[in-house]
Structure 1
Amino acid sequence: MQAMAVESPNRLLICLRYGIGDLVMELPALRGLRSRLPKAHLTALGAAPAVALLEGDPDFDAVIPAQRFGFQHWGHRGTAAARERLGEWLIAGAFDQVLDASHAVVGVREVISAAAIPVLNTESSFETNEEPLEGRGVRSIWRSAVQAWGLAETGSHPEPNLHISEAVCQSARHFCYQRGLGDRVAVGIAPIASTELKRWPLEQLGKVVRWLTGEQGRPILVFSAPGEEKVARELLAQAVLPGRAEFVPPFHLQQTAALIACCGAFLSNDTGLMHIAAAMDVPTVAVFGPTSQRVYLPAGTVAVSSGSECSHRVTDRFGPSPCLLQNRCLIGRESCISAVSVEQVTAALERVLCHSFEPQQSSQFSRGGA
């Protein structure tokens, strides 16, 4: 693998992975880079909303969303004006090197390629039979960064951690206190997903909600995302006692992370919020469908899946499965996530809920401190 071209660069541009979960998984490598280059100016270029997680993070000197230049999504090549704005910004930035341009939005990648700046792309590889299963994605990214960026070898790889300010933590606690959740253990639920194929059916999730709010007597926080508020509200309506279920609107991602940290447990599809919950040390149950837990399951997270082997599921690298690329199941009429039973999920939650969870203290909102 190619090594860092500039041994002690003064100004580095780091192209972040696109999705929320992918960004969280690469955090240990990014923090290792800061430790290796404590005096360098590190600029992180990513995409909203994921890049918002790094705003105010002391390990980065600048955090820039690609949308600032006019690039709207991962496959967007951008207008001529957007490409010109980015090109001028790259010149003004006087970067010694660009790391992982291959992770950038397509148009950003093309503009960087045309600029006279050395580029280093890392390649993540998976060990076929590596154990434990949880955290393989993080370990893969870490190993690649150790080799390509010259990071210090450690006996074990670090885990992702988020820096959330005390002000944001206080705001999250106030949100819960206003809803009578100050001294109770709420279960956070994220019914959202980037595609229907990754969403556990609301009918089945609703049965879990009724079990939690009824038989278990647990209050719940239902998290939403931009454009998916209706899904969250439909789930809320299925609670046994409406007063035990609260809607969490699409806040800034750091506010969402702080609210997740207020939960005693978290239930999610394979989404960015699953990775945030794990990074905030919240015991999590994740329902998997067409994506592979061999790649994306965070450490300390309990995975639930149909258990069926699918030749289309990608298990040895990052990236979408053929099903996700075509936005349809290539084997049956509905996604494999529909085969996950209510009993599987409640059994996994019981394993998590059998512990006594205390309300999070401010110092616990951020693994690594704020």
Structure 2
Amino acid sequence: MADRYAEILVVDLLGGIGDLIMLLPAIHGLARRHPTARLRVLTHEPGAELVRVDPAVAEVRTPRHGRPGAERAAVVEALAARRPDLAVTTTRYDGIPDLLLDSGARCVTDLWRRPPPDEPVGARYLRLLHAEGLLTRADLTARPRVRLPASARAAGEGDVDRLVAAARRATAPPVVLVTAAGMAVKRWPDGSWRALAGRLAAAGHPVLTVGADDDPPGVPLPPGDLPTLAGQIAAVARRGGVVVGPDTGPVRLAAAAGATTVGLFGPTDARRYGVGGLDLQGLPQCPHRRPTAITEQPCWWEARCPLDATGPACMADLGVTLVTDAVRAATRRPSLVWQVPAG
């Protein structure tokens, strides 16, 4: 750890909120180990909202438009604005690693190399950066955490207070359902969400929702930016509540804000992409799942399941009773490592 850097550039242009959240422990580790460095992050909106309020990050840059080539142009602009001493990227397309290497900075350009199928993505990032001498062993167990301003926490408390107070027969902690997913292949069936919401409400849980549904199965959290949502979820967590949803950004945000989560995993392998709460794997023995090459799965881009023409068989395999039991276990004992029952 003898090297010290004055300018660090971290590039994450994979496109998803969850992708950036998995990188947060590495960002925070670099900031801790190089406290005098000016650390910049180049990423997409809306994830950029989270690092703009993060005291570890000096500057946040985003692509100027959504047309092809925007990400490469944003890297060129970032390098022209300030040449980094150290550049770290999760992004491998469009010649971005070569741009960073040509800048003369020390670079880590392949955080995806030779991943074991059962090592979480974020943990892999930390292990590779540790191998490069950029982090210490103490950093290897870090988990994603969002840094929120007091205003976001206070607003979240107010929002959740009002919703819980308005709930009928609320005798149990609130549960937030994240019903949407950016990719159709990750979505749990609508009927399953409604059945789950009904069971939770009958058990006295205020049921809140996150998503763009026209007819949500619960009471929607007030809309806002990502720090606002994180503040709301932190308020749910302080009441012993749980967040349920598929492998998607808001569920990762919930865990990073301190909530216990029940993750619904189908096409992605929970060993590698798990959120770290109670991660349930649908159809564990699916022959088409590729933990280290998910974009090559036949179902990935168009949600065409080779096993079921009506929708992703792995998501349908997660039964309502299984998920309900996981939520109840999590609300009773949030620190419990819950095991899926045999059979």
CA distance, structure 2, for counterparts of residue 310 and residue 88 of structure 1:
44
Scaled by the length of structure 2, the TM-score of the pair is: 0.83
1:145 aligns with 2:129: yes
Superposition pairs for residues 341-356 of structure 1, below 5 Å?
A: 341-355=319-333
1:235-282 deviation digits (Å, cap 9, x = unpaired): 33xxxxxxxx42124421111111112221111111111211222221
8 A contact 1:71–1:107 mirrored in 2: no
Evaluate the alpha carbon distance shift between residue 190 and residue 165 of structure 1 in structure 2; reply closer, same or farther with a 3 A threshold: same
8 A contact 1:122–1:145 mirrored in 2: no
Q: For 1:254, which of 222, 227, 230 is the aligned residue?
A: 227
1:87 aligns with 2:87: no
CA distance, structure 1, for counterparts of residue 281 and residue 270 of structure 2:
9
8 A contact 2:87–2:100 mirrored in 1: no
| 1:293 counterpart residue number | 270
Using the TM superposition, give the Cα deviation of residue 108 of structure 1 relative to its aligned residue in structure 2, in angstroms: 8.0
Evaluate the alpha carbon distance shift between residue 270 and residue 55 of structure 1 in structure 2; reply closer, same or farther with a 3 A threshold: same
Evaluate the alpha carbon distance shift between residue 321 and residue 284 of structure 1 in structure 2; reply closer, same or farther with a 3 A threshold: same
1:78 aligns with 2:52: no
Amino acid at match of 1:272: G
8 A contact 1:278–1:284 mirrored in 2: yes
Instruction: Give the secondary-structure state (helix, strand or coil) at the position aligned to 1:262.
Output: helix
| 2:339 counterpart residue number | none
Question: Structure 2: where are the runs of 5+ without partners?
Answer: 336-343
1:203 aligns with 2:191: yes
| 1:44 counterpart residue number | 41
Instruction: Give the secondary-structure state (helix, strand or coil) at the position aligned to 2:138.
Output: coil
Evaluate the alpha carbon distance shift between residue 220 and residue 250 of structure 1 in structure 2; reply closer, same or farther with a 3 A threshold: same
8 A contact 1:305–1:340 mirrored in 2: yes
CA distance, structure 2, for counterparts of residue 291 and residue 247 of structure 1:
27
Evaluate the alpha carbon distance shift between residue 352 and residue 61 of structure 1 in structure 2; reply closer, same or farther with a 3 A threshold: same
| 1:166 counterpart residue number | 150
8 A contact 2:17–2:47 mirrored in 1: yes
Scaled by the length of structure 1, the TM-score of the pair is: 0.78
Question: Structure 1: where are the runs of 5+ without partners?
Answer: 131-135, 237-244, 358-370
CA distance, structure 2, for counterparts of residue 139 and residue 305 of structure 1:
19
Superposition pairs for residues 5-24 of structure 1, below 5 Å?
A: 7-16=3-12, 18=14, 19-24=16-21
8 A contact 1:291–1:321 mirrored in 2: no
CA distance, structure 2, for counterparts of residue 356 and residue 340 of structure 1:
21
8 A contact 1:122–1:148 mirrored in 2: no
Using the TM superposition, give the Cα deviation of residue 123 of structure 1 relative to its aligned residue in structure 2, in angstroms: 2.7
Number of residue pairs matched by the alignment: 322
Amino acid at match of 1:77: G
Evaluate the alpha carbon distance shift between residue 331 and residue 89 of structure 1 in structure 2; reply closer, same or farther with a 3 A threshold: same
1:170-210 deviation digits (Å, cap 9, x = unpaired): 01111123334499731111001012211101111100101
Using the TM superposition, give the Cα deviation of residue 99 of structure 1 relative to its aligned residue in structure 2, in angstroms: 1.6
Superposition pairs for residues 1-370 of structure 1, below 5 Å?
A: 7-16=3-12, 18=14, 19-66=16-63, 69-71=64-66, 76-78=68-70, 83=73, 87-100=76-89, 102-103=90-91, 106=93, 109=96, 112=99, 116-118=103-105, 119-124=107-112, 125-127=114-116, 136-154=120-138, 157-181=141-165, 185-214=173-202, 216-224=203-211, 229=212, 231=213, 233-236=214-217, 245-263=218-236, 264-299=241-276, 301-316=277-292, 321-333=297-309, 334-336=311-313, 337-355=315-333
Instruction: Give the secondary-structure state (helix, strand or coil) at the position aligned to 2:245.
Output: strand
CA distance, structure 1, for counterparts of residue 27 and residue 79 of structure 2:
21
Greater length-normalized contact order (CA 8 Å, ≥ 6 residues apart): 1
Amino acid at match of 2:216: L
Amino acid at match of 2:58: D
CA distance, structure 2, for counterparts of residue 110 and residue 154 of structure 1:
28
Using the TM superposition, give the Cα deviation of residue 122 of structure 1 relative to its aligned residue in structure 2, in angstroms: 3.5
RMSD, aligned CA: 3.0
